[in-house]
């Protein structure tokens, strides 16, 4: 008998979600919840993916554009790829689906999994250090990647053997499709580690309208160090064990490796600002500033950059 293909629903499928849908479709039964313009374009000519995860053209994919879905259908995995600003809304809209599934967050920022836990019986946290973009409404491109995808039971690895098996099957589903996903025994640490990159890079690239590589400019060194130092202090207060021995060793890794790995591409917050969309700043630098206040830790760099991005968000909304 042929092996049963896992069923996957991708909730909030844009650049990241449609790209994962394209790669997973080779060995899984994939459906997506996306906006009408993507559904229309995909039904007309198929979903296409180019770049470092290979070339894929998928014709058999179900796109939903509202919670009005067939009743009684349970998914093995529901991967949430909406922006962190939409996590609560999308969970409320798809509450029935989330009740009977393992929910996975493939989002940036801190706090998404805590929201999702209120809706789903089991949550897998994930980090994605890959750059995705649109060529058209049905054609995505993956430009670069600094680290493999990581996934772990949230909040920690003290889980039952049944939960551990679910995580293993989830990871195997990706390896069958040629995508490396590394199992994490401490996914909170991974989420904070990945957030360090976004805290240091995303708002500055958005404000300066600069590709990631440009953030290696010496004039930005002090600001980036300030953002990183504060994040380390807040992480320590939260009991997060980061894999670098000091803020300076992370700053060197960022400068010598991560900035070059992304090179000429722009981070997601740059696109939010130029497209006049709300950014994820409150799940990144804003989260550090807010959590710092809880512990009496001063966070002038993160507070300043959060305020600047809020001003940009407001001015873009007035202009558009």
Judge contact between 181 and 149, C-beta under 8 A.
yes
Q: Would you give the binding string for ligand NAI spanning residues 215-244, x where CB under 6 A is met?
A: ------------------------------
Judge contact between 138 and 38, C-beta under 8 A.
yes
In whole angstroms, what separates CA 311 from the centre of its chain? 24
- Of 129 and 303, nearer to ligand KPL (C-beta) is 129
Stretch that binds ligand NAI, among 52-60, 80-88, 150-158, 301-309 (CB under 6 A): 80-88
In the complex, what is the shortest distance from the CB of residue 151 to ligand KPL, in angstroms, rounded to a whole number? 16
16 binds ligand NAI (CB under 6 A): yes
Q: Contact with ligand NAI (CB under 6 A): which of 146, 193, 268, 279?
A: 268
12 binds ligand NAI (CB under 6 A): yes
Burial 280-311 (b: 16+ CB within 10 A, else e): bbbbbbbbbbebbeeeeeebebbbbbbebbee
Burial of 156 from C-beta contacts in 10 A (0-12 / 13-18 / 19+): middle
Dihedral Cα 181, 184, 187, 191, nearest 10 deg: -50
* Pairwise CA distance, residues 269 & 292, whole Å: 22
- Of 102 and 127, nearer to ligand NAI (C-beta) is 127
- Of 110 and 229, nearer to ligand NAI (C-beta) is 110
In the complex, what is the shortest distance from the CB of residue 262 to ligand KPL, in angstroms, rounded to a whole number? 6
| Binding interface with ligand NAI (CB under 6 A) | 12, 14-17, 33-35, 81-84, 86, 89-90, 93, 107-108, 128, 130-132, 268, 280
Q: Which stretches of the chain bind ligand KPL, using CB under 6 A?
A: 108, 129, 131, 197-198, 201-202, 262, 267-268
């Amino acid at each position: 008998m042929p092996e049963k293909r896992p069923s996957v629903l991708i909730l909030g499928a844009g650049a990241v979600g449609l790209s994962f849908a394209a790669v997973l479709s080779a060995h899984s039964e994939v459906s997506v919840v996306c906006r009408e313009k993507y559904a229309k374009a995909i039904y007309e000519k198929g979903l296409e993916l180019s770049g470092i995860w290979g070339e894929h053209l998928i014709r058999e994919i179900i796109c939903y554009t509202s919670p009005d879905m067939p009743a009684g259908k349970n998914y093995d995995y529901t991967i949430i790829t909406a922006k962190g600003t939409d996590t609560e809304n999308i969970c409320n809209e798809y509450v029935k689906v989330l009740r009977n599934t393992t929910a996975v967050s493939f989002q940036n920022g801190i706090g998404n999994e805590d929201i999702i836990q209120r809706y789903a019986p089991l949550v897998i946290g994930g980090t994605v250090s890959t750059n995705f973009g649109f060529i058209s409404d049905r054609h995505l491109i993956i430009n670069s990647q600094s680290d493999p995808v990581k996934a772990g039971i949230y909040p920690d690895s003290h889980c039952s053997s049944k939960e551990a098996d679910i995580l293993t099957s989830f990871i195997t589903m990706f390896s069958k499709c040629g995508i490396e996903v590394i199992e994490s025994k401490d996914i909170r640490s991974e989420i904070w580690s990945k957030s360090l990159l976004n805290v240091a890079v995303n708002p500055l690239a958005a404000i300066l309208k600069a590709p990631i590589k440009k953030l290696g400019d010496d004039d930005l060194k002090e600001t980036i160090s300030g953002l990183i130092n504060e994040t380390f202090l807040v992480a320590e207060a939260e009991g997060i064990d980061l894999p670098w021995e000091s803020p300076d060793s992370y700053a060197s890794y960022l400068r010598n490796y991560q900035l070059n790995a992304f090179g000429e591409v722009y981070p997601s917050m740059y696109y939010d600002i130029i497209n006049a969309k709300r950014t994820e700043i409150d799940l990144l630098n804003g989260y550090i500033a807010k959590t710092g206040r809880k512990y009496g830790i001063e966070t002038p760099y993160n507070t300043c950059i959060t305020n600047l991005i809020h001003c940009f968000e407001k001015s873009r909304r007035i202009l558009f």
